[in-house]
Amino acid sequence: MRRSKYRRVSRSNNWFSGKRRIIAVAATLVAFGGIVTVTQVSNASTDRTQRKALSACDDIQAPARAKLSTETRKGTYTTNGGKVTQHADDGAGETVSTQTLRTRCRNWVMNNVGDTKDDETTPPTEAASTPPAADPSAGTGEEGQGDNGQGTGEEGQGNGEQGNGEQGNGEQGNGEQGNGADPSAGTGEQGNGEQGQGNGEQGQGNGEQGNGEQGNGGENQPDPEPSEEQTTPPPGAGLGVLTNSCDTSNLTPHTGFQEGSHCVSTEFGEVGEANANPTLLITRAPRSVGVNQPFTLTISTRNLIRDRFLAAGAGGYYVESSVLANGLVRGHFHTACRILPNTNEAPAADPVPAFFVATEDSRGGATPDSINIQVPGLPNAGTAQCASWAGDGSHRIPMMVRANQIPAFDSVKISVRNGRR
């Protein structure tokens, strides 16, 4: 007898059919709904955080214009045939409007707030895996660094999740007791810290780093070892350091503008080797000049790449850490002249100088070189102090490896007389 090619499929072999298919579809919809809900909640939290930050941008006001030197040519200009850029008063005259500051703030918020790796409001990018249902007594749970689901006795562990942003002792569930064939078995994954444990057997596998996906059959696990940051003392420990951050300051955070009574949180940044620290010398200066008589100062720098400048008037003051290029500081140098009230005591700090420029020419390096600075003249007779010093991108004198190294600074005194000589 010839068999029909349309044979009836055995019911016992059709696992994914009937009620099982309905259950599988329902489970998929539940899991998908949970992912969508978590994502929507995270997105809502991100949106609230972002809106709050954007609202803060609307309160920003441009600072008052800083006092400028009296004799310096204003703005930014070039010398040496256009090869050298001079920034009058460190760019303090290059101010920005309130609207520009608010726009910059809003652009920064849109690019950073709620969209960073470490931000706890960042929406999840991967769905959590569905735990197996073969052994109802096995304890399963996810643990990042804090939220923990644990079972007691021979019980299944409650599920708990934690990412890098949520940390604490966690949410603990007593679990649901299982009556499976092996109630002591614990299932879990381990790879750099994801671990599942039980009283009897232990399941291990590869996983993502964290404190682990851990399933406890009965006993609580010991506290994790303290991290290196928790066990390594901070610099200056035991010396009675007053503070090393603005967390303890009552002053408002610094804004990048030349304003006092603020706390600067910008880190110092990179410091090179002692033989690569910047040095500076005024190699030529007149001994005497007349009032309003132009003169030239020659400045030599070593170990300073003069290619980094953030205008102080635009909010670039004390906002950038020191950056090295091939071990050398990137920055610029300053030159200023002021008439001293007398030569017997340190002068007051707040009066503006007669002349001040910041010099940037995208040159400089380990080999010393020289640049001429043209001073248009000084307005009054007396003794003038003309100084020059290196600055990093945010205008600070570069750091030195040792305390007994002389920083990149030099100064000369010039007699300013009535009438030209």
Tell me if 107 sits within 8 A of 374, measured CB to CB.
Answer: no
Determine the pLDDT at residue 328. Answer: 98
Tell me if 168 sits within 8 A of 146, measured CB to CB.
Answer: yes
> In this structure, are 326 and 398 located in the same domain?
yes
* Sign of the alpha-carbon dihedral angle for 377, 379, 383, 386: negative
Domain around 20: 16-59+98-131+161-172
Give the CATH number for residue 339: 2.60.40.10
Q: What is the pTM of this model?
A: 0.57
> In this structure, are 408 and 282 located in the same domain?
yes
Asked if residue 286 is part of any domain, the answer here is yes
> In this structure, are 296 and 407 located in the same domain?
yes
Determine the pLDDT at residue 406. Answer: 94
Distance CA 237, CA 150 (A): 39
> In this structure, are 165 and 297 located in the same domain?
no
Residue type for 68, please? L
Number of domains into which the chain is organized: 3
Asked if residue 247 is part of any domain, the answer here is no
Determine the pLDDT at residue 322. Answer: 96
Which tokens sit at 39? 């994502």
Asked if residue 239 is part of any domain, the answer here is no
Strand-pair partners of 339? 384
Cβ burial, residue 330 (10 Å; 0-12/13-18/19+): buried
Asked if residue 116 is part of any domain, the answer here is yes
Q: State pLDDT tens for residues 76-100.
A: 888 878 888 888 876 777 777 888 8
Asked if residue 146 is part of any domain, the answer here is no
> In this structure, are 303 and 402 located in the same domain?
yes
> In this structure, are 303 and 413 located in the same domain?
yes
Within the chain, which residues score under 50 in pLDDT? 1-13, 15-16, 38, 116-219, 421
Tell me if 330 sits within 8 A of 365, measured CB to CB.
Answer: no
Asked if residue 107 is part of any domain, the answer here is yes
> In this structure, are 166 and 205 located in the same domain?
no
Q: State pLDDT tens for residues 57-81.
A: 888 777 777 778 788 878 888 887 8
Distance CA 278, CA 368 (A): 10
> In this structure, are 168 and 291 located in the same domain?
no
Distance CA 347, CA 361 (A): 31
Which residue has 């010396």 as its token pair?
Answer: 239
Distance CA 212, CA 393 (A): 43
Determine the pLDDT at residue 229. Answer: 55
Taking every pair of Cα atoms in the chain, the longest distance, rounded to a whole number of angstroms, is: 131
Tell me if 151 sits within 8 A of 216, measured CB to CB.
Answer: yes
What count of other Cβ atoms lies within 10 Å of the Cβ of residue 273? 11
Determine the pLDDT at residue 24. Answer: 53
Which residue has 């303890």 as its token pair?
Answer: 248
Determine the pLDDT at residue 272. Answer: 97
